[in-house]
Each structure stands twice: as C-alpha cells, then as structure tokens.
Structure 1
Amino acid sequence: MNYNSSHILIIEDNPDQWVIIESAIRDKLPGVEAVLATNEGEAMSHLHTCLDSKGNMPKIILLDLYLPKPENGWQLLKELKKEGSAFVQIPVVILSFSKDTNDISKMYNYGATAYLVKPTDYSGWLKYFETLRQYWWDTVTLPGQSF
C-alpha cells in the first residue's frame, strides 16, 4: 500500500508526547505525514485549510482527551461529529492516559471511533502504530479513497 500523500492529524498538547508519537509514526508509517495541532483551534484551522484547498483530509485523527482539560477534548469531538460536519466521516481515535469509565463512555457517546489508553513506553507506541497501520491503512476502506 502506498502511504504517500496521506497524513494523520495529531491533536496533542504535551510536547514530550508529540516527540514520541512523531518518532513512532516515522518508524511504522514511513511516508505518512504527522501533522500536530496543540489545541482545538489549530485542529479546526488545519481541517478547514484542507477543506478549502480541496487537499487531502487526514486519514485519521488522533485526539488527546486532556487538552489540558477533558472538556476541551469533548467539545472538539462533538464539533467534528455533529450532524452536517464536513469532518464527520474522518475516524477519530481518542488517546488518553485516563482509564476512567466516565471518560471512555462520554467519548463514545460523542462519536469517537475508538478509545485507546496511551502506551507508557516507546515499544508500546511502536506496537500501537504498527497495529494502526495494519488496520487503518491496510485493512479498512474509508470514504473518498481511490484505488
């Protein structure tokens, strides 16, 4: 599968986490651009730029729940998944250290595609992105894909 010209939007406010995530993506998804947004405004700006320029939308969005508060993640997810949103079909995977069942339930209720607890070490991130590549790039067919 050709990964070139696709990208992942990572919404993460912790610079240390970003360094780890970006490195693991380079390792396991060569040719896929990782785009960082550190808050809701940057994320929506990137998505609207993609929409306005008729550029490639992200193949997937990885959203940190705590930006820095969970309310920030909830609001952004609700905005992305509201009826009529141009971004409703983009899969949104929640990444969080939280194992709180209330957080997990809320995110699914607001339209999350999946909820994953963040790995605690680099080898866990590598395994995570290997699995993500196999599932989202090699297995799943998403709207707007051309073959």
Structure 2
Amino acid sequence: MKSKSDQARIKANFSQAKVLVIDDSDDHWLLIKKAMQACLSEVTAVRAATTDEALDWLKEWQTQEWELPKLIIQDLYVPKRENGWALLRAIKEMPAPLNQIPIVMLSSSTSSYDIMHAYKLGVSSYLTKPGSYEEWIAYFQEVRTYWWETVSLPPLQFSV
C-alpha cells in the first residue's frame, strides 16, 4: 500500500502531465500513441515529427510553464543520427526549465557509442525500441511505473 506522501507525489507527477514525443516515423508514432493511451491514459502525448517542430513546440511553451512536458521521448534518428545529436544539444542549451526536462532517448540503435554519447550529452535514460506491439505495451507500463509512480519529477517553473 502506498503512503500518503507516495500518493501525493504520484498525483503531482500526473498533474497536467504531457510528454513530447519526437519521432519521425509515422508507424512508430502510431504504436507509441496507442501504447501510451493504454498505459498512460492520464498523460497527453504531443508529437513532433521533425527537429524543427520539436524546437518550435519547446519555444512556444517557453513562457507557459503549465504547458511544459514532464518528459521528452526522443528518437535518435530524426531522420539521421546527426539530427538527433543536434536536437539533444539544442534542448540542453535552452534556458531553464526547458533544459531540465528529463529526456529518454528511444532508438533502434544498440551501439555502445550511441548509448555512451547519449548519456554524455545529458539524457536521463536510453532505451532500445521494442519490436512488437506487446513489447511497446510492456515498455510504456515500465515508463508509467518508473517516471510517474516511482520518481519525483521536478516542478518545472520559470525563475523571475
């Protein structure tokens, strides 16, 4: 049974919860969206299909703290790996609190270089993309358990 403080933390994590999903694959987006609806129905998923679109969303939300996503899920290949690295650097160079949003790198790459480089550039987690819909469901159930029910997400507020 969860304590009152655990319940309060979980409630805070789900409050106005939004995830920015950066993935250029329409097929993966459909799988992600469907799996998120099944496992994280309280969370709004917003898709950016390009790096420019992702940066536009973040810039738009820059002055609207109630719009900030609690988590960013970013594909490394958008569409090329170099684009993914450039986007990750650009997000990490943005002003607070945008640069403090946890980023989960989601990629088909299992290269040890990609994994180490992603962490070096500041991702919170690196996950390999699942292969089947059942694996996507299991993946997003784990995302729910870890990112919404276990960790304490920072309150993202702008300093004045």
Alpha-carbon distance, 1:84 to partner: 4.4
Alpha-carbon distance, 1:50 to partner: 1.4
Which structure 2 residues correspond to residues 119-138 of structure 1 after superposition, within 5 A?
119-138=130-149
Aligned mate of 2:48, from 19, 37, 42? 37
Counterpart of 1:43, as a letter, is: A
Moved more, 19-28 or 87-96: 87-96
Asked if 1:73 corresponds to 2:84, the answer is yes
1:79, 1:85 within 8 Å by CA — same for their partners in 2? no
TM-score calculated relative to the size of structure 1: 0.92
Counterpart of 2:63, as a letter, is: D
Q: Which has the larger radius of gyration?
A: 2
Paired residue for 1:17?
Answer: 28
Task: Give SS of 1:143's match.
Answer: coil
Cα 1:85–1:97, aligned 2, differ >3 Å: closer, same or farther? same
Alpha-carbon distance, 1:85 to partner: 4.8
Task: Give SS of 2:130's match.
Answer: coil
Aligned mate of 2:62, from 45, 51, 69? 51
Counterpart of 1:93, as a letter, is: V
Gaps of 5+ in 2: 1-9
Gaps of 5+ in 1: none
Alpha-carbon distance, 1:5 to partner: 2.1
Identity %: 39
Superposed CA offset, 1:32-67 (max 9, x none): 111000111111111121122333311100000001
> Number of residue pairs matched?
145
Moved more, 134-143 or 52-61: 52-61
TM-score calculated relative to the size of structure 2: 0.84
List, as ranges, runs of 4+ consecutive aligned residues in structure 1 with deviation greater than 4 Å: none
2:62, 2:98 within 8 Å by CA — same for their partners in 1? no
Aligned mate of 1:104, from 115, 119, 139? 115
Instruction: Give the structure with the higher percent helix.
Output: 2
